[in-house]
Amino acid sequence: MGGRCYILTVEDDGEITRIQGPRCTDNFQIVNPGFRYLDSEWFSVEQAFQAIKFPDGSIARLEIHGTAPEIGESDEEYGLRAWLLGQPRGDSTVRDDWEQEKVKVMLLLNLAKYASDANLQDELVATDGFTIEAKESTANWKHWNGCTQIWIRQILMSQDDLHTTIRVIENMNAEDVEYMLDSVKS
């Protein structure tokens, strides 16, 4: 699920303070004019993630892909709507490999989002020197969302090409992607 990550700061007295991070750290963020992944346009990482969990060509995937933000709808409102549409119901079943692939897919979608807009990249790089901590979420997403943002920040700081990075990650084993994200240092 979404929600802006926190940026952790250390006060003079040693106390750690959480402040709200930039919008770019939110999987619910509506990206204008959108970003491309798997030859499709997406409005948010959450929309793409919820759609891609279903088999290509399935009704659920097509429905979620076709869901655009409504006028005046906030990032959170749209993200929650996309999340709800992504919950299996009736005859909609997720991909057989979803549990194995979902962390890799989340990383790829975030990379595609950042590759679409230099301003988003600048927002994330501006958090350099701070620990990024994701908000509480379902399952183990607090961990994975935080690791994803920190890892992408490191890629941006090293000035590696994001499109090349996407191709490399697409060819990696999902287990290796999780291991790589687990080894990230804030």
Question: Which tokens go with 4?
Answer: 């802006």
Q: Is residue 136's pLDDT more than 80?
A: yes
Question: Which tokens go with 77?
Answer: 């409102």
Please state the rounded mean pLDDT for residues 24-46. 97
Please state the rounded mean pLDDT for residues 8-18. 89
Give the confidence band of 105 by pLDDT, cuts at 50, 70, 90.
Answer: very high
Give the confidence band of 91 by pLDDT, cuts at 50, 70, 90.
Answer: confident
Count Cβ atoms within 10 A of the Cβ of residue 125 and give its class: 0-12 exposed, 13-18 middle, 19 or more buried. middle
d(CA 95, CA 34): 25
Question: Who's near 150: CB < 8 A, 6+ residues apart?
Answer: 131, 132, 184, 185, 186
Q: For residue 180, which of 102, 107, 98 has the smallest C-alpha distance?
A: 107
Give the confidence band of 158 by pLDDT, cuts at 50, 70, 90.
Answer: very high
According to the model, what pLDDT value does residue 160 have? 93
For residue 99, what is the enclosing H or E element?
helix 98-115
